Amino acid sequence: MDLEMAHSKCGQPDGRNPILRGALLRRRAELRKSWKYFISTECLDSLGPLAPEVGSFLSGEDAIRDWRSAATFAWMNCDANFLDCLRVIALSGKIEYRPLDAAPARRSPTDLNKLSSTELLKALCARYRCPLNIGTASEFDVAEELLRQLMVPDRAKLEGGEEFDVDMVLLKLNLVGIRAMITRDLRSLDALNYFYELPHRSLARMRASPRCVALWLCIYAQLLSLPDW
């Protein structure tokens, strides 16, 4: 794949950006044409009023918002719920948040791994009610664990054709994607690249959660459009 070649060719940081930038822009152009494969007509219809926004965002010109300023705060509070905040971020809107002086008590990856899939989903949605908080310094360990899960156990299940928790995988992809927009972490971008390139059978199963698939693709589109990796 072009993106894999871009990573392999860039030995020195000074020469990396133009090669990577070209590969990302080619992938973005591809996504403008192929996103309807990921979101079938039936899935798009199920999005209701969100459907025109998603279609316009994925098909149109790049809309980029620089979220890196979020990392300068210890924590942020949002009045909206998790899904509403995620929608605004994914569509590059303006999210209303209030910076707080201190982050909540830390959650260790060990603690999170003791939770069932359902419990973990609820815990992450509650903790990251303002999803931008996944990009703060205090959440490094949690973000690293989510990335590890995506690229090790989740990846193994997908490649082995095993059942997987669609909502949980998509939640992790959205959070990891948001962190990548804030921190410019290439490993997180690679994770989204991998899931974008999944075989057809796996993608068909992910359509069981059309809203989260749509928002993930919008976040991915933003990552591909960033000029300063």
Residue 105's SS3 state is: coil
At residue 4, the pLDDT reads: 54
| Helix 82-90, helix 166-183: angle, nearest 10 | 50
For 103, 104, 132, 150, 165, the CA distances from 195, given in Å and listed in that order, are 31, 31, 22, 9, 14
Q: How far apart are CA 225 and CA 94, in angstroms?
A: 18
**pLDDT at residue 10 tops 60:** no
pLDDT, one tens digit per residue, over 169-220 is: 999 999 999 999 999 999 999 999 999 998 877 777 888 899 999 999 999 9
Q: Which of 206, 199, 138 has the alpha carbon at shortest distance from 174?
A: 206
pTM: 0.91
Does 69 or 139 have the greater pLDDT score? 139
At residue 140, the pLDDT reads: 95
